[in-house]
Amino acid sequence: MKKLLIGTALAAITSASGAMAAGHGTSACLITKTDTNPFFVKMREGAEAAAEAAGITLRSYAGKVDGDHETQVAAIETCIADGASGILITASDTSSIVGAVTQARDAGLLVIALDTPLDPIDAADATFATDNFLAGELIGQWAAATLGDEAPNARIAMLDLAVSQPTVGVLRDQGFLQGFGIDLGDPNKWGDETDPRIVGNDVTAGNEEGGRKAMENLLAVDPSINVVYTINEPAAAGAYEALKSFGREDDVLIVSVDGGCPGVQNVADGVIGATSQQYPLLMASKGIEAIVAYAADGTLPENTPGKNFFDTGVALVTDQPADGVESISVAEGTDLCWG
């Protein structure tokens, strides 16, 4: 009820300000999950810079919290009413948003999903995203290569995002396991693997507090854990605190995904062994370029060959490169980091 109240109030505010700001010429909309996550802040910076370069108007909208679906729907409606040429959206609810997205596409707008594919993925005209499965695979391969002969005896903790199993979390988790050399059950779901090396899965909400608690829970299940997969770097930082309180911080390998600046710094400090870095700025700037091209002559963006989306790239950041796994140094990662 509360959530609904907030959602409605925010929806009212966003649509009101959107209506007031109606402008002329080519315009594009950027709709992100929140205004506060540095990942989306970086995304907005990228979009703003690209829009300015192309001389088009950009309007940005964001949900209040991750999962705020109503606000995003209201934002799409505002963009349609506004006569925008295209929408870049990071959907909070990837399947529920499809109705509103279809409405926008029917009205002639180009809709590009950024970072998070819609469900189904072809509900949007295109998806510009990190290959999250590959991101997971890289850290999985790195962990296995770093352990070397010990890999068959690994004790692995899986620190996931949420029990609702959002696709981004599933892809990273399953990618990691595949990279590590563990048989996946259903690749659309985490937690159904039978490999005895996995101690367990727990959820972190992607923040430090959740990371610490989940790590403690799994250490209580099995104190001999020596490999920790984390959904993102804040969760990894929390897991590290838990390991520290158990006196285990030096003999456990933590891997993560994101490539935010504090996370890369944590790789430099040895908190995280390796992290897969993604590039939100690129997603947004490429997205704006696609909208400009579409507005000019109706060109639709093309996917990366062999994938059903446009891959904005991912790189493994570590100062301990492993054989057979391509990586970049912490210094290079720092130059490219966001937030």
Partner 1 sequence: MSGDADNFEAAVKAKGAEAVAEFKDTRKGVLATVQHALHVNPALVPLFVLVASIIGFGLLLGSKFFSPFALTLILQQVQIVGIVAAAQSLVILTAGIDLSVGAILVLSSVVMGQFTFRYGIPVEIAVAFGLMTGMICGYINGWLVAVMKLPPFIVTLGMWQIVLAATFLYSANETIRAQEIEANAPLLQLFATKFQVGGAVFTVGVVFMVLLMLVLAYVLKQTAWGRHVYAVGDDPEAAQLSGVNVRRTLISVYVLSGLICGFAGWAMIGRIGSVSPTSGQLANIESITAVVIGGISLFGGRGSILGALFGALIVGVFTLGLRLAGADAQWTYLLIGVLIIAAVAVDQWIRKVSA
Do the Cβ atoms of 236 and 263 come closer than 8 Å?
A: yes
Does position 187 bind partner 1 by CB under 8 A? Answer: no
117 SS3 class: coil
CA 160 to chain centre: 13
> Nearer to partner 1 by C-beta: 110 or 203?
203
CA separation, residue 290 to residues 85, 117, 243 (Å): 10, 17, 45
213 binds partner 1 per the rule CB under 8 A:
yes
Applying CB under 8 A, does 265 fall inside the site for partner 1? yes
Q: Is 6 in the site for partner 1 (CB under 8 A)?
A: yes
The reply to whether 245 sits near partner 1 by the rule CB under 8 A is yes
Residues 49-68 that bind partner 1 (CB under 8 A): 64-65
List the one residue from 138, 170, 218, 255 that touches partner 1 (CB under 8 A). 218
**Under rule CB under 8 A, how many of the chain's residues touch partner 1?**
42
What count of Cα atoms within 13 Å lies in the side-chain half-sphere of residue 215? 31
Contact positions with partner 1 (CB under 8 A) in 129-168: 163
Task: Name the residue with tokens 């605190």.
Answer: 241
Indicate the residue among 25 and 270 with the shorter CB distance to partner 1.
270
Complex with partner 1: residue 53 or 163, whichever CB lies closer:
163
* 266 sits near partner 1 (criterion: CB under 8 A): yes
Burial per residue of 61-77, b for 16 or more beta-carbon CB atoms within 10 angstroms, e otherwise: bbbbebebbbbbbbbbb
Give the HSE-up count for residue 75: Cα atoms under 13 Å, Cβ half-sphere: 30
Please state the closest distance from residue 331 (CB atom) to partner 1, in A.
18
Least CB distance from residue 95 to partner 1, whole Å? 19
